[in-house]
Amino acid sequence: PATMGGRVNDIEVVDNDPRIIYAALASGGIMKSVNGGTSWTVVFDKEAVPGVGDIAISPSNPSIVWAGTGEANNRQSSSWGNGIYKSMDAGKTWKLMGLAETHHIARVVVHPTNPDIVYVAATGKLWGPSPERGVYKTTDGGKTWQQVLKVNDDTGATEIAIDPESPNILYAAMYQRRRTVFG
């Protein structure tokens, strides 16, 4: 009841088939269209949390879709998440792949040619310090994660961009944030 809906946090389109669109909702899971947005189906409604901060489609295998839970917008009504999910079947089923304590995931980036390499920008707990803030990386498709960038317990990662020409180069934006009840 405290969650205010209506916000879309991310929209992703399959590169080689722009009819397939995913939309991450602040408090409503993930919607998918296979006809260019004419009609939509909910594909992330059986999971433990409804708030999705970001979606990423693997460029080398569009059947692999990642969903970072927890809205990263800095609002009193931001829904927190329970980690990152992975779908191997284009959103039909989802599996929780860890990072539960990150609470809010702002961005997920998949390596352009290796779908097992994924980066996650985690903003951490909204209301207090959080050692889980920062950038995480997996090289085994989400079985294990390593925190590869951390500033401090008050600074989370809000954005990651991967250089498509040199995918070993990443750019990350960090944001010191601590939400209070009224500000």
Counting other chains too, the contacts that 132-141 makes at CB distance below 8 Å and 24 or more residues apart are 132/99, 132/101, 132/102, 132/103, 133/102, 133/157, 134/174, 135/160, 135/170, 135/172, 136/99, 136/102, 138/97, 140/116, 141/86, 141/115, 141/116
pLDDT tens figures, 44-73? 999 999 899 999 999 999 999 999 999 887
pTM of the model: 0.93
pLDDT tens figures, 106-165? 999 999 999 999 999 999 988 889 999 999 999 999 999 999 999 999 999 999 999 989
pLDDT at position 75 is 66
DSSP output for 96-160: E-S-GGG--EEEEEE-SS-TT-EEEEE---SSS--TT-EEEEESSTTSS-EEEE--BTTEEEEEE
As a whole number, mean pLDDT of residues 80-98 equals 96
